[in-house]
Structure 1
Amino acid sequence: MTAPHDLHIGADHEKTVVSASPLRMRTGRARRYRAGSVVEVVPRRPSGRTRADLIRVSSQLSLVLLVVSALLTGAGVPWTAAAAGSLALVALVSVRLARAARPGTFALPKDQDAPVLHGPRERAAYGRAVATARRVRATWPALRHMIDPAEADRGLTTALRDLAAVMARRQQVRRLRDELGAASGHGLPGESPAAVALAEQRDRVEELWRESGADANRIMASIHAAAVAGENLIREQRIHETARNAEMAIARLTATGVPVSDAGPELAERTAAVIAAYRELQAEP
């Protein structure tokens, strides 16, 4: 059952998909990892089976099922039912094997508003933010007495959702910016109405570019700050605990001091005296 505020994040070799609905695979298979309300979907590596391998496996399975169908028919099971079941099983196995042999790619979400990132820079930046969000979540068990995990989960998920929307918008602005930049070499005089309009649009796009960059940096900086703050606090707690344990150990050692006798020095003196006497005896004629 999908929670109403779940965020599903998947990245394949061509795009990054962020959606409130569960992600579907167009090809291949994937593993799903849930952390709070964030579900990361990771494509599995293709099995590497070739078409010849798939045909061989299907043929072997068909031969085994043919024997099983004959036995079931002999036991009184209608041959049509046995044959239909065998065909369905062969088809299911063939489809699953063929799917596992192909690289995993995500289908585009049905929600048209779901961000889909194709740009390498936007994808890389969002991937770093997701990795930093994992660091934030890793600090919560140690800080469970200081934070509300449910509230923190909602805030972190909202930040990732907002960042995906900002990155998708920035991706569109980047394309438009590149198009206007390519059109700048038009060769028209500067006072031309077309040239003036183009310059105005370029100024507006540059403003959108700066705004989207500032929004993205603000969200990513907040996620990074949360990770660093939590990690520093945990490190400080551990150092404080180490110092407190050391203080208690020192206090116990001080209170239960071990009395030290002169047995060691006396033994050394007696040993030295015995050795000296032995040498004197050896020196006598």
Structure 2
Amino acid sequence: MLYVVFDDTGRCLVSRDDPAPSGRAERADYDGVVAIALAAPHDQDWAATAPDLDGNRLLAGSVMLVVAGATLAASALVSPWVAVPAGAAATVYVGRRHNIAAARAEARWASRHRILDTRAEVARFRRAFDAARTILVAWPYFAELVQVPSPRREVSASLWTIAGLLRDHADLAEQHVALSEARFGDLPAHASVRGALDERLARVEAAQRALSAEIDRRLEPLTDLAARSASFVRAEAATHVAHEAVRRADEAVRRADESLGRVAAPAAPPDETRELAERTAAIIKAYRELTDRT
């Protein structure tokens, strides 16, 4: 499963875990790609910190309190010259263990969550997401034709990769801004660091171009497949409409034939006037022939 969250501030979260956002949210499952729209207003914090860090901090604080209490007790029973250094060492040990655990938790969370919070990156990812949604919605119409039941694995992996590239591109953009401000700000003309700044700016710009090209390269097949999928569905829909129109026309002809077969042609009624006229004309003619002879 891949979860894609958009909020009203223009940010986007792409996650391999269900983010379970607080507040009201609308969900739509597109065959394994779940779109989540947060309803405004909301107070969702997407800072790149592990969700269990608060619990870790609480646990570490509790342990430190226990250590401090034990140190005071040992000072009273033994000697502060022995207990205090031991307590300090234990506190440092607990603090280091907590920091290591926190760093691991953050790394684990960051490996499964990618945040996009710049307008340019979110717009490019929205394009990828819209293409993915089109593909996943249209796929059932030609799954048998291409002999692939579902493209969810390929589409999800593509979105995840693009999100990572966009996040890296945004990070480079931040570095470029910082380097530019340092290079073209109040830096003295004779500062030796100018050369290093220029060199880093050139490297960052080259990396940005390479990343942007890679993002476009990965977007192209996704948007192309989406366009072909939508075109196929439209063509199939038009064909279905045409076939349905022909079917209805054939049905109308068939029913008309059935009706015509059930209704016999009406018999012509006798024309009494014509028979009377013909009969009268024959009698008059015969009468005249007789009178003319006499």
Question: TM-score normalised by the shorter chain: which range applies?
Answer: 0.5 to 0.7
Map of 2:129 onto structure 1: 130
Map of 1:209 onto structure 2: 208
* CA distance in 1 between partners of 2:29 and 2:232 (Å): 25
Distance 1:252 1:39, change over 3 A: closer
2:15 aligns with one of 9, 13, 19: 19
SS at match of 1:10: strand
CA contact (8 A) 1:163 1:219 kept: yes
- Residue 233 of structure 1 pairs with residue 172 of structure 2: no
CA contact (8 A) 1:43 1:104 kept: no
TM-score after normalising by structure 1: 0.58
Q: Counterpart of 1:105 in structure 2: which amino acid?
A: Q
CA contact (8 A) 2:116 2:166 kept: yes
Map of 2:2 onto structure 1: 7
5 Å matches for 1:57-68?
A: none
CA contact (8 A) 1:12 1:106 kept: no
5 Å matches for 1:233-252?
A: 233-240=232-239
1:38 aligns with one of 29, 33, 36: 33
How far 1:181 moved relative to its partner? Answer: 1.7
CA contact (8 A) 2:4 2:14 kept: yes
Map of 1:61 onto structure 2: none
* CA distance in 2 between partners of 1:116 and 1:163 (Å): 12
Distance 1:203 1:153, change over 3 A: same
How far 1:146 moved relative to its partner? Answer: 1.9
Q: Counterpart of 1:228 in structure 2: which amino acid?
A: A
SS at match of 2:193: helix
Task: State which drifts further: 37-46 or 205-214.
Answer: 37-46
Map of 1:119 onto structure 2: 118
Q: Counterpart of 2:233 in structure 1: which amino acid?
A: I
* CA distance in 1 between partners of 2:137 and 2:245 (Å): 27
Task: State which drifts further: 162-171 or 134-143.
Answer: 134-143
Q: Counterpart of 1:24 in structure 2: which amino acid?
A: A
CA contact (8 A) 1:32 1:39 kept: yes
Distance 1:157 1:251, change over 3 A: same
The superposition leaves residues 235-283 of structure 1 with CA deviations (integer Å, 9 ceiling, x where unpaired) of 33344556667788999999xxx9xxxxxxxxxxxxxxxxxxxxxxxxx
Q: Counterpart of 2:5 in structure 1: which amino acid?
A: G
* CA distance in 2 between partners of 1:172 and 1:211 (Å): 14
Distance 1:165 1:250, change over 3 A: same
Map of 1:55 onto structure 2: none
* CA distance in 2 between partners of 1:39 and 1:249 (Å): 40
Map of 1:262 onto structure 2: none
How far 1:44 moved relative to its partner? Answer: 2.8
* CA distance in 1 between partners of 2:123 and 2:151 (Å): 24
* CA distance in 2 between partners of 1:34 and 1:244 (Å): 32
How far 1:22 moved relative to its partner? Answer: 1.0
5 Å matches for 1:50-199?
A: 103-108=42-47, 110=50, 111-113=109-111, 114-148=113-147, 150-185=149-184, 186-188=187-189, 193-199=192-198
Q: Counterpart of 1:20 in structure 2: which amino acid?
A: R
Structure possessing the higher radius of gyration over alpha carbons:
2
How far 1:174 moved relative to its partner? Answer: 0.5
Map of 2:94 onto structure 1: none
CA contact (8 A) 1:12 1:104 kept: no
* CA distance in 2 between partners of 1:40 and 1:245 (Å): 35
* CA distance in 2 between partners of 1:175 and 1:154 (Å): 32
* CA distance in 1 between partners of 2:6 and 2:124 (Å): 13
How far 1:199 moved relative to its partner? Answer: 1.3
How far 1:118 moved relative to its partner? Answer: 1.5
How far 1:205 moved relative to its partner? Answer: 0.2
The superposition leaves residues 163-194 of structure 1 with CA deviations (integer Å, 9 ceiling, x where unpaired) of 110111011001011111222223425xx642
How far 1:34 moved relative to its partner? Answer: 1.6
Map of 1:68 onto structure 2: none
How far 1:32 moved relative to its partner? Answer: 2.6
Report which of the two has the higher share of helix.
2
TM-score after normalising by structure 2: 0.57
How far 1:142 moved relative to its partner? Answer: 1.5
CA contact (8 A) 1:180 1:202 kept: yes
